[in-house]
């Protein structure tokens, strides 16, 4: 017999002559023996099929006309999933045209998988986000147990839409002609590369020695002033 993951069945419900006894369509998947994890989005009529132990998510569009099941695409990853969770529609980021978000369970982590529809417009996409079931229950528990039935309470996702902030892009391009070298006499390469004379070298060494002595004198003065400051502070205490 084919495994649960090997075949996918679509069963019709509602209307005259439709019931859950016979499927209206059968879709062969593969020969894996993993447990099938289906997630259906009634807003977009898309069913997502995940298999425990598999590393892919296949999704199909369900229509009211034959052949009823239309293959769309497959999301594949490297690591198999131990389980899968599905975010309700009201938890999606509508400003990024996110239509589905899964939570893939690994051995030691939970990985979010986000599916979006590429759109260039920054406006709210009404066709992607019709009114969807909200958190408010349509019936209380005792009402449902008594046999009552009611349609879910729908909410609009437009309130959750946050338009992106447009950042003004400025490009400042410097003109290399605006940066000019300072005017002055040009020295020939032979003159700049000429070796220093003995007199010039002795003069530079004397200047360096004088600067060192000046630095030492300043350091001594700073030390003396710091000692005076410490004495004044101790006296005031």
Q: Convert the pLDDT of each residue in 21-35 to its tens digit.
A: 778 888 777 666 778
User: Residue 61's pLDDT is what?
Assistant: 93
Q: How many domains does the chain have?
A: 1
In a domain, 225, yes or no: no
Choice between 101 and 67, residue whose per-residue pLDDT is larger: 101
In a domain, 76, yes or no: yes
Provide the CATH number for the domain around residue 99: 2.130.10.10
In a domain, 66, yes or no: yes
In a domain, 12, yes or no: yes
User: Residue 180's pLDDT is what?
Assistant: 61
Residue 87 confidence class, pLDDT cut points 50, 70, 90: very high
In a domain, 230, yes or no: no
52 torsion bin: left (phi>0), alpha (psi -120 to 50), beta (else): beta
In a domain, 13, yes or no: yes
Q: How many CB atoms lie within 10 A of CB 12?
A: 15
Separation CA 124–CA 120 (nearest Å): 11
Residue 174 confidence class, pLDDT cut points 50, 70, 90: low
Range of the domain at 54: 5-131
Q: How many CB atoms lie within 10 A of CB 48?
A: 20
Separation CA 174–CA 194 (nearest Å): 37
CB 29 within 8 A of CB 8: yes
In a domain, 206, yes or no: no
């Amino acid at each position: 017999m084919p495994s649960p993951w090997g075949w996918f069945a679509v069963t019709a419900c509602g209307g005259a002559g439709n019931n859950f006894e016979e499927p209206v369509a059968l879709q062969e998947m593969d020969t894996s023996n993993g447990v099938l994890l289906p997630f259906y989005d009634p807003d977009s009529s898309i069913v997502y099929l995940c298999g425990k132990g598999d590393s892919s998510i296949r999704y199909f569009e369900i229509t009211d006309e034959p052949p009823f099941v239309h293959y769309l695409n497959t999301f594949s990853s490297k690591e198999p999933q131990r389980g899968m969770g599905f975010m309700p529609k009201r938890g999606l980021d509508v400003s990024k045209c996110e239509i589905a978000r899964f939570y893939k369970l690994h051995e030691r982590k939970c990985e979010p998988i986000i599916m979006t529809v590429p759109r260039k417009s920054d406006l709210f996409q009404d066709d992607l986000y019709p009114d969807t079931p909200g958190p408010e229950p349509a019936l209380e528990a005792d009402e449902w147990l008594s046999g009552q039935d009611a349609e879910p309470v729908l909410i609009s996702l437009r309130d959750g839409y946050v338009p992106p902030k447009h950042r003004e892009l400025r490009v400042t391009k410097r003109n290399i002609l605006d940066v000019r070298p300072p005017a002055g006499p040009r020295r020939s390469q032979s003159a700049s590369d000429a070796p220093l004379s003995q007199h010039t070298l002795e003069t530079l060494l004397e200047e360096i020695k004088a600067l060192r002595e000046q630095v030492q004198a300043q350091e001594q003065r700073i030390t003396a002033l710091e000692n005076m400051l410490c004495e004044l502070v101790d006296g005031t205490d």
